Amino acid sequence: LVSTEEDKYGLYSNLLLKYFLAEGVVCGHDLFVASAKEHPDNILKELPAPLLDDTYGKDLGDEAAVKSEDFQDSMKIAWRYQSLPKIEASPTTYTKFGHYYDISKKMSPELYQSVKWHSFYLHEELSSEPEMQAWNMNSGYARLLQSIQRIISQEGFDGSDPQKKQRNVLRIGIQSLGSILWGDDVCCSDAPEDPHSLTKFLYVLRGLLRKSLSACIITVPAHLIQNKAIMERVTNLSDMVVGLESFIGSERETNPLYKDYHGLVHVHQIPRLNSLICDVSDTKDLAFRLKRKLFTIERLHLPPDLSDTVSRASKQDLAGSAKLLSSGCGAVAIGKRHLDF
C-alpha cells in the first residue's frame, strides 16, 4: 500500500498514479481504478504511451555520460577534493529497469483494452443504489471496499483460496482519497465530525491487500487535511508514504537553487515488510523534473559557487535553502531514473 501526498494542484500526483496503471497494462496485470473526481474511463485514456524501443534508453544513458564528462572537464577541482568519491545525480551507464513512458503521447486504446480492468466511480455507485453503511464508515468508503473485496474474491486474486486458473496481479489505483468528494469531512475542519472513516477504510484495505495478490496506490490531499493526527494515522497504516511538493505558485519557483526542477520529493516512510528495520538511503534530498517526454526523479545538489562577486545576502539565501533541504526524512536510494512501478 503506497500513499502519495498530493501536490497543491494535483498535477504530479495524478501523473504518478497514471505511471502505476500504465506499468500494469504493459505487464499484463488486471487494473482497478477508483475515483470520486475524474471518471476512471478518462484516467485510462490519459495513460502515457510506453517506449518499447531499448535504443531510446541507451541513447539517453550515453547522453548523460557525455554531459558528465564535459562537466568534469570544465571544472577545476581543488587538490584536496580530488581524492573524494564523486557523487552523481544520475547513472552514467544505461541499465534496463522496468519500462519507460512518453508523457507527450497517450497510450493506444488497443493496448489498455488488452488487459482486464474494473472501474469504480462514486457518483455512479451512489445513484444506482440506496445509501448504505458498513464497517462503521461513510457510504462511499464502504461501497469501495465492497467492490474491491468482490473483485479480489471473484477474479481469483485471493491468496488464501486455491485457484485453478493462472494467477495474475491486481493493481488498484484510488484517486484523491479523503477529499470532500468522497463524502468525508477531514479536509473541511481540524475537528471533523467523522475523523475515523478514512483510517478505518485504510485498515480494512490493508488487510485485503495482505491476503491477496494485489498492489495499491492512493493519492491523498494531505495539504487540505488540517488535523495532523489523522495524517499520522494514514502514515502508520501505509507501507510507503511519498509526498510531492510542487514549486508552482511558490517562491521556490524563482529560486536559483531550484531552477532545474519542478518540485521536491519527500519520502516519509518506506516499506519494511517481514523485517525489523528498513533500508536507509545515502541521500535525503530528492527532486523531480518534468521534461518534454519524461518525468524523472534525481538527487538534489547545491549549485557550485563559481563567482567571486556573489553578495553576502545571496549566499545567506542559499545557505537557508540548504538548511531546509537537509531537514527531510530518510529516502529510498533513487537516482535520476524514470519511474517504474
Judge if pTM exceeds 0.75: yes
The more confident residue out of 279 and 120 is 120
* Res 69: pLDDT: 47
* Number of domains forming the structure of the chain: 1
Least confident residue range of 22-26, 221-225, 317-321? 317-321
Pair 148, 119: CB distance under 8 Å: no
pLDDT averaged over every residue in the chain: 79
Whether residue 92 is predicted with pLDDT greater than 50 in this model: the reply is: no
- Is residue 219 assigned to a domain? yes
Highest-scoring range by mean pLDDT, 234-248, 287-301, 315-329 = 234-248
* Res 59: pLDDT: 44
Q: What is the CATH number of the domain that holds 237?
A: 3.40.50.300
Secondary structure string (H, E, C) spanning the chain: CEEEECCCCCHHHHHHHHHHHHHHHHHCCEEEEEECCCCHHHHHHCCEEEECCHHHHHHHHHHHHHHHHHHHHHCCCCHHHCCCCCCCCCCCCCCCCCCEEEEEEECCHHHHCCCCEEEEEHHHHHHHCCCCCECCECHHHHHHHHHHHHHHHHCCCECCCCCCCCCCCEEEEEECCCCHHHCCCCCCCCCCCCCCHHHHHHHHHHHHHHCECEEEEEEECHHHCCCHHHHHHHHHCCCEEEEEEECCCCHHHHCHHHCCCCEEEEEEECCCCCCCCCCCCCCCCEEEEECCCCEEEEECCCCCCCCCCCCHHHHHHHHHHHHHHCCCCCCCCCCCEECCC
* Res 294: pLDDT: 86
Least confident residue range of 123-137, 148-162, 301-315? 301-315
The more confident residue out of 331 and 230 is 230
**Per residue in 274-287, pLDDT tens?**
777 766 666 678 99
Residue 151 belongs to domain spanning: 2-53+97-241
- Is residue 308 assigned to a domain? no
* Res 307: pLDDT: 52
The more confident residue out of 261 and 63 is 261
**Per residue in 30-74, pLDDT tens?**
999 999 999 999 999 999 999 866 545 544 554 444 444 444 444
CA atoms of 302 and 306, how far apart (whole Å) = 12
CA atoms of 289 and 294, how far apart (whole Å) = 8
- Is residue 291 assigned to a domain? no
- Is residue 15 assigned to a domain? yes
- Is residue 192 assigned to a domain? yes
Largest interatomic CA distance in the chain: 75
* Res 291: pLDDT: 84
- Is residue 333 assigned to a domain? no
- Is residue 190 assigned to a domain? yes
Q: Using pLDDT thresholds of 50, 70 and 90, give the confidence band for residue 190.
A: confident
* Res 340: pLDDT: 46
Whether residue 338 is predicted with pLDDT greater than 90 in this model: the reply is: no
Q: What cell was used for 63? A: 547522453
CA atoms of 182 and 198, how far apart (whole Å) = 10
- Is residue 289 assigned to a domain? no
* Res 44: pLDDT: 94
